[in-house]
Amino acid sequence: MSFLKITGLSARLKGTAFPILRDVSLEVAAGEVHGLVGESGAGKSMIGKAVLGILPASVEITRGAIELDGMDLLSLPPAERRRRIGATAALIPQDPLTALNPSRRIGPQVTDRLVDILGWPRARAETRARELLAEVHIPDPERVMRSYPHELSGGMRQRILIASAFAAEPKLIVADEPTTALDVTVQKQILKLIAEMQARHGTALLFVTHDLGVVSKVCQSLSVLYGGKVMEATTVRDFFRQPAHGYSRALLAATPKYTDPAASLTPVPDAVIAAVQAEIAAHDRSLRHG
């Protein structure tokens, strides 16, 4: 049974007809790593935000359902929804530089969720936080707990954010481009760390990224998005072997190859974009008339 099930989710810019998400459906099983790929503006982050209930105020959901652990989130009153999301899901944010409160020490920022969500006493939460920091390979957790965010590097901060995302043992974590803001060398370590933590804790992961290389390393299944619509949803194996959709094929062809660094970059051809846009327009028409 799938742990996260999104059915027919549509969203638009508030007060306009401008679509942000078009009839998105996807399923993530417990413990599965599902990739959300697409260009900038394809709506991949918006899906993650919708699941966590942190959509920007300018975006409104018009139709559809988000089922988390068998519970339809959108039908719950806001306070209850927040409580439920807090207890079952967590976020690994994109930019570690803005994801920690600059005026608070690291310690309380990690223990907060243990205290808030699990209701642990502070002392116990602190012991656990130290263990978690050690688990994400942070040297001298004691010192780091007392530090302010600006005293630590981007990679360190991302490790802390990973530790605090896993802290309350959530069943689902949304990783919103967790390596985009980091150096290439650090990216690889962080990716490895996320995969390692995911395997150890058996957490389902919704992995938002524009990097197909990352998908091939971390994910088991994926959804390809364009213009807020799912173009193709399949397993990573099938996707890299025999992509079904024309856009997927073009996207794969556009990925630079390590084996041939001299080759010039291939953009997604205009004809493919036109075909995809025609498909979306047809979809919009069918909705209007159906």
Q: Which of 62, 98, 153, 242 binds another protein (CB under 8 A)?
A: 98
* 96: amino acid identity, one letter: P
Q: Which stretch binds another protein (CB under 8 A): 18-26, 89-97, 188-196, 214-222?
A: 89-97
What binding mask, one character per residue, do residues 134-173 give for another protein by CB under 8 A, x or -?
--------------x-x----------x--x---x-----
CA atoms of 115 and 123, how far apart (whole Å): 10
Contacts with another protein: how many residues (CB under 8 A)?
34
**Could you tell me what percentage of the chain is helix, strand and coil, using 3-state DSSP and rounding each to the nearest 5?**
45, 25, 30
Q: Which is nearer to another protein, 20 or 168 (CB)?
A: 168
Query: Does 99 engage in binding with another protein (CB under 8 A)?
Result: yes
Query: Does 13 engage in binding with another protein (CB under 8 A)?
Result: no
Query: Does 243 engage in binding with another protein (CB under 8 A)?
Result: no
Q: Running DSSP on this structure, what letter comes out for residue 268? A: P
In the three-class reduction of DSSP (H, G, I as helix; E, B as strand; rest coil), residue 2 is classed as strand
- Residue 261 burial by CB count (10 A; 0-12/13-18/19+): exposed, middle or buried? exposed
SS3 per-residue string spanning 237-265: HHHHHCCCCHHHHHHHHHCCCCCCCCCCC
Q: Which of 27, 39, 112, 196 binds another protein (CB under 8 A)?
A: 112
Q: Which is nearer to another protein, 117 or 254 (CB)?
A: 117
Q: Which stretch binds another protein (CB under 8 A): 19-27, 46-54, 232-240, 252-260?
A: 46-54
Q: How far is the CB of 137 from another protein (least distance, A)?
A: 21
Query: Does 175 engage in binding with another protein (CB under 8 A)?
Result: no
Please name the residues in contact with 164: beta carbons below 8 A apart, sequence gap of 6 or more.
Answer: 90, 109, 110, 112, 113, 132
Q: Which stretch binds another protein (CB under 8 A): 32-40, 76-84, 239-247, 266-274?
A: 76-84
- Residue 211 burial by CB count (10 A; 0-12/13-18/19+): exposed, middle or buried? middle
Looking at the DSSP bridge assignments, the partners of residue 234 are 222
Residues 273, 251 contacting (CB under 8 angstroms): no
Q: Which stretch binds another protein (CB under 8 A): 45-53, 205-213, 238-246, 255-263?
A: 45-53
Q: Which stretch binds another protein (CB under 8 A): 1-9, 107-115, 199-207, 262-270?
A: 107-115
Looking at the DSSP bridge assignments, the partners of residue 137 are none
List interacting residues with another protein (CB under 8 A): 49, 52-54, 57, 79, 82-83, 85-87, 89-91, 93-95, 98-104, 109, 112-113, 116-117, 148, 150, 161, 164, 168
